[in-house]
Amino acid sequence: MPEMVTNSKMITKKIPAILITVFIAVAFLSSGVGLADAKPSKVYNSRQVLSLDGTWQIALSDATNVPATFSHTISVPGLVDMAQPAIFTNLGSKTKENGATFLKFYTAQDTFWYRRSFTIKGPVPEVAMLKVGKAMFGTRAFLNGQFLGEHKPCWTPGYFDAKAALKTGQNELMIGIGADREALGEAYPDGFDFEKERYIPGIFDSVELILTGTPHVVNVQVAPDITNQTAHVRLWLKGTAGGDVTIEIREAKSGKLAGKISLPLSTSPEQVVDEVVSISDCHLWSPETPFLYQLTVRTTGDEFTTRFGMREFRLDPATGRAMLNGKPYFMRGSNITLYRFFEDPERGDLPWDANWIRKLDRRIKDMHWNCLRYSIGFPPESWYKIADEEGILIQDEFPIWGLPKKTTPDELAVEYAEWMRERWNHPCVVIWDASNETNDKRMGLAMTQVRNLDMSGRPWDNSYNPPQELTDCLEGHPYHFLNPTNKLIYLATADPAEKADGKHAIILNEYGWLWLNRDGTPTLLTADLYKNLLGTNSTTAQRRHLYALYMAAETEFWRSYRKDAAVMQFTALSYSRTNGQTSDNWLEGGVAKLKWEPEFYKNVRDSFAPVGLMIHFWNDNASAGNTMQIPVTLINDLDATWSGPVTLRLKSGRHVLVEKKQDASIAALGTTNIIFDIVWPKRTGPCVLETELRGADDKPVRSVRELVIK
């Protein structure tokens, strides 16, 4: 493809004050090299990103006194409880805050100091920037004894200008992080979670040194236009003294050139350039086909690379549907509460193991889930890159469950903007989520300041506050079994449009209240529920069986009425601990190998099948000899018609008492209802009523109820 300049719209202007923090460094980085082999050339014409991940030294002191000795080592990224020999104390004192009880280990002055050395061979370039991906609680950076700066926010990257302190030869980097949330003061979101017990500090995302020349590419945002098969590319540049800039788009896997333009730059300390690049043979990104492009921006002194997908996402207020690439798309999924998993005894180094993360995403997809909420906290950046590749839609939730008293909307806007800058090219990220279960107008005031930064116009979830725009969503957390006296029959009269206002799509990202620990014991919140449902002497097998049947029925209920844009089970990854409020569904001791609890996998997986069904039968008994009509709702999330037989069976053990079949057809993205007439046998006792069809993968999908014929 020849070089072309098309649809050129260059904008040269000063960056607005509120965005100074946002655009001081790059969003996505490329071409890492080993520190020992770093050989910057005299004239920088590309970018080197030096990974500082690996083994560091660590010591505990206070905020003003650097330790004299470092006798422990630690892996970065990670948490301080991973240090060798152990440095993090487990002797915490019980502390209450906002009605929650947690363990407090350190004071506001306690500081963990990280130290490492590295070597630079060659001259120091025009631009040298240190990036600390995420660190709890607050980051202070020193290079060769010089203070580079402080970054209080924990959930967004800190960037530090290292140019003046960096030298040819050996360099020593020191990073101090607060050991306790109190180190942040009361002005910054600190990750408070009513259901956490341990807040473990650490540098839990990558550390990098970015070396480049000028003109320097500060940031890039890509907004796909699938109708015109173009990408709107916005560049933030610094130190431009003329020359050209080239924007090149290639298919990420094949390397095939898909679009390229070049244009001259004006002389300016900083400027913003907007360009529209045509993409040949355009491929769309979706969970089913996660096709990625790589975009490279080159100046005479810098080369910046990011990935993106040709993907558009919005919420349609008229239909209440999610729209992916211009078509209705039913979101089915779960949640990842990673900061709770941080305190799980099976955690280890799993959150930083790329193979484990990818395997987790594939387990997610195997459950018929196409979306996740990263709930009350952002994982390391690698999680988003893998979700892009595996094809999972992400509702990205800022770690707020109640704001500190002194957090201002302006401070929150700065953190929101840093967050957006880090994520906005990820096709997996489709919803900005301001907080969890928080009713506070400060989030909305902050959202107003930053939402227009996103050229793709993603919807926002404003938690328990009113949505700002019609294309935003309502957040639903309908917990039917919060009342421990409820049984499945409650669903016969429950409102399937509980949160609806007739104006906004509903994202149902929590429901159930049925949690069991991985060993099958009830959690703190569900002990009374299982006592009422199964009695005081229930077994682990009984509880797991009931959980699976109830959660499957709940899922069928929410999906079949088609009132929600997303139905997301809570939760796919959490902690499992004594007195924990929630838990996930892995087998005890099976998190590393990602082994689902079998009853959960068997029943709940069926309830999320793209072509699925629901028996409208909620009683726990039936009268022998009576005739009854059993309605069955069939749903089809696919954009093609489904047709095939539907079977109803009544079984007693392995013996089939009744079996009936009828043919059915479900329109693309539609639902239909069929009715079976049944005469309950005169044989009394426990039975299983189930309906079955062959799903999109030609495997059986069932809806199951258990009852007693009397």
Q: Please, are residues 240 and 268 in contact by the beta-carbon 8 Å criterion?
A: yes
Long-range CB pairs of 696-702 (<8 Å, 24+ gap) are 696/609, 696/610, 696/611, 696/638, 696/642, 701/606, 701/609, 701/611, 701/612, 701/613, 702/606
The phi, psi pair for 668, rounded to 5°, reads -55, 130
Beta strands 371-374 and 331-336: pairing type? parallel
| Total residues found in the chain within this entry | 710
> DSSP assignment of 517-533, as one string?
-TTS-B-TTTHHHHHHH
> DSSP assignment of 667-705, as one string?
-TT-EEEEEEEEE--S--EEEEEEEEEE-TTSSEEEEEE
Q: Which listed CATH number (2.60.40.10, 3.40.50.970, 3.30.565.10, 2.40.50.140) goes with 613-709?
A: 2.60.40.10
Q: What is the mean pLDDT of each run of 10 residues along the chain (710 residues)?
A: 32 38 35 34 69 98 92 98 95 92 95 97 94 98 97 98 97 98 96 96 98 95 98 96 93 98 93 97 98 97 97 97 98 98 97 98 98 97 98 98 95 98 98 97 97 98 96 96 96 91 96 97 98 97 98 98 97 96 96 98 98 97 96 97 98 95 98 97 95 96 97
The phi, psi pair for 565, rounded to 5°, reads -70, -30
Q: Which listed CATH number (3.10.20.740, 2.160.10.10, 2.60.40.10, 3.30.2000.20) goes with 220-311?
A: 2.60.40.10
Q: Report the CATH number of the 48-212 domain.
A: 2.60.120.260
Cis peptide before 67 (omega within 30 of 0): no
How is the chain split into domains, by residue range? 48-212, 220-311, 328-608, 613-709
- Report pLDDT for 241: 84
Q: Which two tokens stand for residue 247?
A: 């924007």
Q: Which two tokens stand for residue 165?
A: 């302190």
- Report pLDDT for 499: 83
CA distance 310 to 277: 12
- Report pLDDT for 671: 97
- Report pLDDT for 91: 87
- Report pLDDT for 366: 98
SS (H, E, C) 197-241: CECCCEECCCEEEEEECCCEEEEEEEEEECCCCEEEEEEEEEEEE
CATH topology of 48-212 equal to that of 613-709? no
* Beta-carbon contacts of residue 668 (< 8 Å; ≥ 6 apart): 636, 638, 639, 640, 641
Q: Report the CATH number of the 328-608 domain.
A: 3.20.20.80
pTM assigned to the model: 0.94
Nearest to 261, CA basis, from 242, 228, 233, 301: 233
Q: Please, are residues 111 and 60 in contact by the beta-carbon 8 Å criterion?
A: yes
- Report pLDDT for 441: 96
3-state secondary structure of 598: helix
- Report pLDDT for 128: 97
CA distance 624 to 656: 16
> DSSP assignment of 134-151, as one string?
-EET-EEEEETTEEEEEE
